[in-house]
Amino acid sequence: ISPRSIVQDACASYATLEKLNERVKPAIDDLTRTTDFFSHYRLNLFHKKCPFWDDENGICGNIGCAVETLDDENDVPEVWRAKTLGKLEGPLAKHPGKQEQRNNPRRPLHGELGENIGESCVVEYDDECDERDYCVLEDESATSKGDYVSLLRNPERFTGYAGDGAKQVWDAIYRENCFKKSSFSHAANLGTPFSKSPAAQDFKQVMDAAGRQAQLQLQRAQRPNTPFVANTGYEIEDECLEKRVFYRVVSGMHASISAHLCWDFLNQTTGLWQPNLQCYKDRLHGYSDRISNLYLNYALLTRAVAKLGPLLRGPEYRFCTGDLSEDMATRAKVNEVTTQAASIPQIFDESLMFVNGEGPSLKEDFRNRFRNISRLMDCVGCDKCRLWGKIQTNGYGTALKVLFEFDNNSKNIPVLKRTELVALFNTYARLSSSMAAIGRFRQMVAAEDEAE
């Protein structure tokens, strides 16, 4: 089997996911844009300090990581400046607080959430973190339970947050939280043709469950003297599958953020919000590994959402207690998304991970590192970026928890918290939009090439 066939298989997975997304996107957009439950997120956005470096003044304190924005910021109108673009819009509604909840657990939330918002749909009860969580829950240590934010009023898009501040956070995410020396160092991997890159092999191994057997044969054929199962799990070159997947989840999230900020970009000359093709070319077009990582994340979340589907139909999950019709409407929309996600053959095969040798300890390491990444979100010096960074790390953390901690045959399946569900489905919606945006950008590049 030649490397060429690996790429073809990966392409087949790409095509399957793109086809799936044509059906998932309308359903997930409907769910996240039209229901109160999924369009409001509760988080502690302003009161947590960056745990890794001094972030007085909302950003890190040392001069080197002050947020730089556009060079000519002073030349653009105030409303287009990064500081303003990064600010949250709309009213923040306070959580009712523990005492009030205890006194009257069905009491509707007081606070403005925007027009026509059924308040009782967003009340949330105190919940505890457990050791199966892959991210630090918003309410873990806070006495105040944070604010509700309208996600519709604060879309993820270009904010102008850039420079040393943003770089420091990405660097910390990649360098300080990566497992030991990685062959996926983002600098090292640039320019590698996809067919020759380890990403192509990974893609095949994790995503193509149907071809798993063939892949085992391929491994043996390519390296007949190397034992297939090594202590660290599924060894490929000098990194095991789990460590690569970890890197790729982060890189895929980064690619998705880039896709959104390029797609919903503010042209500071005209003041219009529009796609920025050059931004896409600079960050994504030449980087097949980044796009591949984004697709891997889409496959991972598809699998988690599909796996969760039957559970969400159970009585443990209520989407809007107190308003039966809203509850039923939300439930029907959730059902549509999970049914679509389950409509393709399983592409991401989580059963390959954490199964051999030091699997369980590696899993804990994986979980702890992911929690660190979620903590790093408190170091992001732009409100909107921090909001979406927190939602997405929680969304991936929830997906990992569903994949690796939920045994559908067990009686002890944890019930997900509201913040986890909202984060999971909104992260799926983000990935779905990123895939659509990348598809449109590709067409724009092709049209440009044709015109030349």
What positions carry a catalytic annotation? 382, 385
Q: How far is it, in rounded angstroms, from Cα 403 to Cα 192?
A: 31
CB atoms within 10 A of CB 216: 14
Angle between the N-to-C axes of helices 241-263 and 418-451, in degrees from 0 to 180, rounded to the nearest 10: 70
CB-count burial class (<10 Å; 0-12, 13-18, 19+) for 190: exposed
Between 246 and 388, CB nearer to ligand FAD: 388
Stretch that binds ligand FAD, among 61-69, 129-137, 347-355, 380-388 (CB under 6 A): 380-388
Interacting residues of 93 by C-beta distance below 8 A, sequence separation 6+: 109, 110, 111, 112, 113, 122, 147, 148
Are the C-beta atoms of residues 159 and 261 closer than 8 Å to each other? yes
Q: How far is it, in rounded angstroms, from Cα 128 to Cα 116?
A: 30
By CB under 6 A, residue 203 contacts ligand FAD: no
Stretch that binds ligand FAD, among 29-37, 247-255, 305-313, 439-447 (CB under 6 A): 247-255
Bridge-based pairing of strands 239-240 and 229-230 is unpaired
CB of 350 to ligand FAD, least distance (A): 22
Stretch that binds ligand FAD, among 315-323, 332-340, 377-385, 435-443 (CB under 6 A): 377-385
CB of 383 to ligand FAD, least distance (A): 10
Site for ligand FAD in 256-285 (CB under 6 A): 257-258, 261, 283
Which position among 52, 53, 170, 179 is part of the footprint of ligand FAD (CB under 6 A)? 170
Structure tokens given for 437: 């945006």
Which among 334, 295, 341, 382 is positioned nearest to 58, based on CA atoms?
382
By CB under 6 A, residue 437 contacts ligand FAD: no
Between 187 and 221, CB nearer to ligand FAD: 187
Which position among 42, 48, 95, 254 is part of the footprint of ligand FAD (CB under 6 A)? 254
Between 331 and 386, CB nearer to ligand FAD: 386
CB of 13 to ligand FAD, least distance (A): 19
Between 166 and 422, CB nearer to ligand FAD: 166
Are the C-beta atoms of residues 96 and 124 closer than 8 Å to each other? no
Residue 49 identity: K
By CB under 6 A, residue 385 contacts ligand FAD: yes
Are the C-beta atoms of residues 121 and 323 closer than 8 Å to each other? yes
Which position among 92, 142, 162, 342 is part of the footprint of ligand FAD (CB under 6 A)? 162
CB of 368 to ligand FAD, least distance (A): 19
CB-count burial class (<10 Å; 0-12, 13-18, 19+) for 434: buried
Which position among 13, 35, 159, 297 is part of the footprint of ligand FAD (CB under 6 A)? 159
Which position among 38, 148, 161, 203 is part of the footprint of ligand FAD (CB under 6 A)? 161
Which position among 14, 37, 134, 158 is part of the footprint of ligand FAD (CB under 6 A)? 158
By CB under 6 A, residue 401 contacts ligand FAD: no
Structure tokens given for 175: 């360098």
Bridge-based pairing of strands 265-267 and 272-274 is antiparallel
Residue 210 DSSP code: G
The residues that touch ligand FAD, with contacts defined as CB under 6 A, are 156, 158-159, 161-162, 166-167, 169-170, 186-187, 251, 254-255, 257-258, 261, 283, 290, 380, 384-385, 388-389
